[in-house]
Amino acid sequence: MKTELLTATDQGLARAAEILRGQGLVAFATETVYGLGGDARSDLAVARIFDAKARPRFNPLIVHVPDLATAERFAHFDARARQVAAAFWPGPITLVLPLLHEAGLSPLVTADLDTVAIRIPAHPAAVALLRAFGGPLAAPSANPSGRVSPTRAAHVMDALSGRIDAVLDGGNCAVGVESTILGLAETPVLLRQGGVPQEALEALLGPLSIGGNSDKPNAPGQLLSHYAPRAGLRLNATIATATEVLIGFGPQSAGQAALNLSPKGDLVEAAAALFHVLRVADEMAGADKSIAVAPIPELGLGRAINDRLRRAAAPRS
Ligand code: TXA
Ligand code: MG
């Protein structure tokens, strides 16, 4: 198939909605990363998402909706869930809540769990697409499973052109790391570090317990490797060896590193740059070099950056 590159004009949105209604796949920009969207009520569309990504089937997907009223058709919100939603939606946080089984989501989306992961994105093109389509969109990050997530339309085209129907170009993603995932089905648990920092959540909810590997809610501890470039990766590097490409952070890397996530040491800027810089470093490394990354402070968005870097550096299976 030929992948159409669409823009978020009335015409582009109408075409994207038409593809989605025909159970096709449209990758679209959100403020975190590009998602690979399909109708969350259609087994066929959801199966196509797994196939295009070559993704393990037991890994459930996030359901994207345009507003809280729509979210409440698919998940049960208690007072605490409403409080978190009011504070952070629309925005880069996903809530795992009790599933309303009668709401008609494909069981492939939830991997037959009794919970559903749901999010209201803030990116205007994502919201416009959800409204034009008029239904819930299942959307994992629009990259082949295990690889670096896309933050530009060109990243999606590079990896998935020919495998999906369209890409809706919404520019470069402003946040740059995936949404924070907060489990609220029982006691609050932070399942994935992401675009809403742990500190901001804890200011609202008090100290949070940290969950295991949310990439495998059914099979804890497997497949730590994720977000991986082709080249190997070494963390907390201050200088590179002759066979490494160094990704720096902050003014202390000036003059040391060819690439820098944020020359002024800003974690928000570094998160927005992360996945693109990993791709550039991977190209520079080629077949015979590996990548080294400078230390990133473990606070705010640095927590999500370090989480993705640790997985990128994990042993490959
Ligand atoms: O920022 C994001 O969240 C992006 C954009 C496109 O919205 N999406 C994204 O989706 O990162 P994905 O599929 O790459 O990650 C979804 C994560 C997975 O780790 C999955 O295991 C977890 O959400 N998840 C989904 N449903 C769950 C559930 N019911 N319980 C626990 N974890 C769940
Ligand atoms: Mg992903």
- Residue nearest atom 24 of ligand 1, based on CA coordinates: 60
Radius of gyration from C-alpha coordinates of the chain: 19
Q: What pLDDT does 213 receive?
A: 54
pLDDT band, very low/low/confident/very high, at 212 (cuts 50, 70, 90): low
- Which residue's CA is minimally distant from atom 10 of ligand 1? 140
Task: Please tell me the distance between residue 60's alpha carbon and the centre of ligand 2 in angstroms.
Answer: 11
Structure confidence at residue 55 (pLDDT): 84
pTM above 0.75, yes or no: yes
Cis (ω within 30 of 0) for the bond into 90?
A: yes
In a 3-state reduction of DSSP, which class is residue 182? strand
Q: Which ligand is nearest to the CA of 149?
A: 2
Confidence band of 221 (pLDDT split at 50, 70, 90)? very low
Q: 63-73, pLDDT tens digit by residue?
A: 999 999 999 99
Rounded Cα distance, 141 and 117, in Å: 14
Q: Which atom of ligand 1 is nearest to the CA of 94?
A: 3
Ligand nearest to C-alpha 308: 2
Q: What is the sign of the dihedral through the CA atoms of 194, 48, 218 and 313?
A: negative
